[in-house]
Structure 1
Amino acid sequence: MLRRHDRNHEGVALTANDLTQRRGRAATIADVAKLAGVATSTVSRALSNPARVNHVTRQRIEEAVGQLGYVPSAQARSLTSGRTGVVGVLVPDIANPFYFDLIRGAQRQLRAAGYAQLLLDTEESHEIESSMVELMLKNADGVVLAASRLDDETLTAAAARQPLVTINRDVPDVPTVILDTPEGMRQTVVHLRSLGHTRAVFVAGPSGSWSSARRWEALLAAGEELGVEMTMIGPWAPTAAAGSAAADAVIASSATAAVVFNDLLAIGMLGRLQERGVRVPLDLSVVGCDDIFGASFCNPPLTTVSAPIEEAGRVAVTMLLSQLGSAGGSRSRTVLPTYLTTRESSGPAPT
């Protein structure tokens, strides 16, 4: 127990209970300093950077903290250490099931490291994402950006001002986690060609989407190599609601197979194709991308490119923590594999 105590005006020693009960509130850093017999600045240093305080003094402060039940506020920790204990995770559409596992993976990794996750929905908007990244400069220790809509210059500038990791957006000098969907696209073309398809269409995602552009490039290259004529329609919003118009455009083409930017859009297409009397896969094969929750039990179950989405969230946080000094290693780029999962929505080309 501490031998040094604060004293009242009569010289009577005060206990830890006296210090808190007389004030009728939770213990403060000043209470800890009085009970330990040190300055508040010394307590602040002991809590934020223990190595700067000698062992005896630090032990006395730790005892005072334990007796008083003192818990530093997030604001106080931020003022003394320059850290908030918060990491911002920005996603384009919080309602898209693709991001569920990513968010879970990031949160679990952050919680294990003692950080809180601040989840923000950028609503597929460049302007909203830009303003939120700016806001995170003051309110978070770092940022994870999923499928960023920001241009390369803006991302590079943001990464120079604050620890930042992107997911599915490759920019020089910006740490990133990449899902190797081009390999999944190649596997898709191989699959379709083996089923006799020679004409396929890519249903593109949003204009300016880095992921959509990469998928189209991979499909073109694989199509040229394997003898599958690839055309592109779009852009389309990556939502089920956009699937009706996308399906009509695919019907108007001469393609026997459609490779779709993401599963939400593909699932929306399936409903419209059924309304139009187009049989999947007898008349048209449909392949999605992401393997979201629901892809395996839509009608028909969707052939799609699967990816380790939760792992992407965990790896992105690990890379961010290495910038914050909370984890070892200094990876600046990680590529995670993808693979095609075949289900009933793809079949032999119609004869």
Structure 2
Amino acid sequence: MTIRDVAQAAGVHVSTVSRAFSASHLVKRETRERVLAIAADLGYRPNETARALTTGRTRNLGLIVSDIANPFYPPLIKAAQAYARVRGYQVFVADTDEDVAVEEELIRTLARQVDGVILVSPRLANDVIGRLGGELPFVLVNRSVAGLSAVLMDVAHGAALAVEHLAGLGHEHLALVGGPRGSWTSAQMRRAAGRAAADQGVRLDVLAPNPPTEHGGIVAAPAVLETGATGVIAYNDLVAIGLIEGFDDRGVRIPRDLSVIGVDDTVAGRLNRPRLTTVAMPTAAAGRTAVDLLIQTVETSGGGPATAQTVLATSLVVRDSTATPAHPAG
């Protein structure tokens, strides 16, 4: 199968097929998607070795996450890999294990092997990310740094929805169990939840920083109980599940005695008992969008950093871990 066969089947010139794979920003989106779909149906694959010699590109992308064991990341990774493959790219995935030193080391290591890097929920300081982004095309997910493209999931809106949901049930004292130090998501949640709590006339206690893990939730459980809050919003589903486990060890039943809300809408939260009320994050869409932005940056003349920013909507999924407070105030 050759590029001419694809062009004939798509009803376009050979050069259009070539641009659809190697310079997609020069082709209308509808045409590009039609060409790529026909190429996939016909089993056409570009000669990557020849293209690399011509363009100086590897057709490889880096994707760095903070904890690959966290169930938030696999849907994002799978979506990014699948979309990159359709566009003629491969994705190298690396895990920092929440270590900023490892994160910077991985970026520098991958820079020699890829055309650009997607950083998901990075922990590095903004100035470090900005400096590294000046050396290699970057796209950030859930982090905003001036001069770099970003895909942001609107967790602030989700946190506000969580506060409004609990206040609507009659909770007047809430707790927010935040995430790790340096987390953009945790900072967004804290600000938005604080504003929403003030608007709703409820008290909000913030407990942070905390490890973004199930164990982190277990450890934080006693401190939450000490606040006297009747409703809790956790940094993510893993922390929420850990909180529920920690509460259960102390005879506190969910949602009879305490309501709990997570963030992410992972499989773990859906399988937990009680099933977890949570803020659904569009992880698969974020993976595809980040790859698309990075490829646009890589294929733009000069390969300089882009400044596009995409915000993806979040929503509240109400399940079994929230209810009216057992002993409402007054």
Identify the TM-score tier after normalising by the shorter chain. 0.7 to 0.9
Matches within 5 A, 1:190-229: 190-229=164-203
Among 140, 158, 171, the residue aligned to 1:184: 158
**Residue identity opposite 1:350 in structure 2:** A
Displacement of 1:234 in angstroms is: 2.6
Among 76, 95, 100, the residue aligned to 1:126: 100
| Cα distance change on mapping 1:300 and 1:72 into 2, 3 Å | closer
Matches within 5 A, 1:79-158: 80-158=54-132
| Between 207-216 and 79-88, the greater mean CA deviation after superposition | 79-88
Match of 2:231 in 1: 257
Q: Is the 8 A contact 1:234 1:246 kept in 2?
A: no
Match of 2:315 in 1: 339
SS in 1 for 2:108: helix
The whole-number CA distance in structure 1 between the counterparts of 2:46 and 2:229 is 63
Displacement of 1:350 in angstroms is: 2.1
Cα RMSD after superposing both structures? 2.1
Q: Is the 8 A contact 1:260 1:289 kept in 2?
A: yes
Q: Based on CA coordinates, which of the two structures has the bigger radius of gyration?
A: 1
Among 258, 267, 285, the residue aligned to 1:311: 285
Query: Which of the pair has the greater relative contact order for Cα pairs under 8 Å at 6+ separation?
Result: 2
| Cα distance change on mapping 1:98 and 1:76 into 2, 3 Å | same
| Cα distance change on mapping 1:93 and 1:189 into 2, 3 Å | same
SS in 2 for 1:143: strand
Matches within 5 A, 1:251-290: 251-290=225-264
Matches within 5 A, 1:71-82: 78=52, 80-82=54-56
State percent identity of aligned pairs.
38
| Between 314-323 and 152-161, the greater mean CA deviation after superposition | 152-161
- Return the TM-score normalized by structure 2: 0.81
Matched, 1:246 2:217: no
The whole-number CA distance in structure 1 between the counterparts of 2:182 and 2:262 is 19
The whole-number CA distance in structure 2 between the counterparts of 1:207 and 1:179 is 19
Q: How many residues align?
A: 281
The whole-number CA distance in structure 2 between the counterparts of 1:99 and 1:72 is 30
Displacement of 1:72 in angstroms is: 10
Cα-to-partner distance string for 1:85-117 (whole Å, 9 max, x where unaligned): 110000000001100111011101100011111
SS in 1 for 2:322: coil
Q: Is the 8 A contact 2:205 2:227 kept in 1?
A: no
Question: Which runs of 5 or more structure 1 residues have no equivalent in the other structure?
Answer: 1-47, 50-70
**Residue identity opposite 1:347 in structure 2:** A
Displacement of 1:132 in angstroms is: 0.9
Displacement of 1:271 in angstroms is: 1.5
- Return the TM-score normalized by structure 1: 0.76
**Residue identity opposite 2:299 in structure 1:** G
Q: Is the 8 A contact 1:190 1:226 kept in 2?
A: yes
The whole-number CA distance in structure 1 between the counterparts of 2:153 and 2:313 is 6
Q: Is the 8 A contact 1:238 1:264 kept in 2?
A: yes
